[in-house]
Amino acid sequence: MKYVFVLVLLIIAGAAGVMGYAVVTRFTHNMTETPRIVAGERVFTMPAGLVPRGGELTIPREARDQAARQPNPVTPSPESIAAGKERFQVYCTPCHGESGKGNGPVTARFIPPPDLTNAGLQKARTDGYWHSYIRVGGAVMPSYGEALSSEESWQIVNYLRTLAAK
Ligand code: HEC
């Protein structure tokens, strides 16, 4: 009788052990040990012409001439110019200066940017070209696509147009 009791006890202990092992295994062998795709590890090619929902197609720097042909969808109203001025003062004055002449405090230790008030430059560049400069950056100018929306970038372009030297 005693042996039967011990045997039953052993079977129960064994079953508990197996179940415990299963629980521990399930909780420790989590997704970090299964085949997975790590962000940035592989590049997937997106189907051509894909646009994120609620987003806008970003034209890369290499296709600036294509971006330059984009029309400005934001009318240069006093409100849009004021909004653009406000953004310009926050993001652009360190290099381009308050006046846009390219004399910001950073330029002493950085490549001086062009004078944006220059009439010749103002004429040579389309709104789309400058919008692209803000969105994806220039040769050394950083891109502001992360910080500024497309609309804010057009507003800044509208503000820059008011700086044109007559
Ligand atoms: C870190 C300094 C820096 C900041 C900040 C900066 N720029 Fe520039 N920007 C430059 C430099 C340098 C150039 C000269 C072109 C080049 O080499 O990228 C330039 C060129 C430009 C041009 C002229 C492009 C052309 O050739 O017609 C425009 C327009 C412009 N920036 C607008 C802006 C606006 C708007 C902002 C703010 C959102 C801004 N920049 C912020 C450095 C800067």
Q: What is the pLDDT of residues 148-163, one digit of tens each?
A: 999 999 999 999 999 9
Q: Which residues line ligand 1 (CB under 6 A)?
A: 88, 91-92, 94-96, 106, 110-111, 113-114, 116, 121, 125, 130, 133-134, 138-142, 144, 156
pLDDT of the residue at 15:
97
Distance 134 CA to ligand 1 centre (A): 7
pLDDT of the residue at 32:
67
Distance 22 CA to ligand 1 centre (A): 60
State the virtual CA torsion across 116, 118, 119, 123 in degrees, nearest 10. -50
Distance 116 CA to ligand 1 centre (A): 9
pLDDT of the residue at 160:
96
Q: How far is Cα 39 from Cα 41, in angstroms, rounded to an integer? A: 6
Instruction: Classify the phi-psi angles of 100: left when phi > 0, otherwise alpha if psi is within -120 to 50, otherwise beta.
Output: left
pLDDT of the residue at 48:
85
pLDDT of the residue at 165:
79
CA end-to-end span of the chain = 110
Ligand 1: nearest atom to the Cα of 112 = 12
Structure tokens at 9: 């006890």
pLDDT of the residue at 2:
87
pLDDT of the residue at 47:
86
pLDDT of the residue at 28:
78
Q: Which residues of the chain have pLDDT under 70?
A: 29-32, 166
pLDDT of the residue at 31:
66
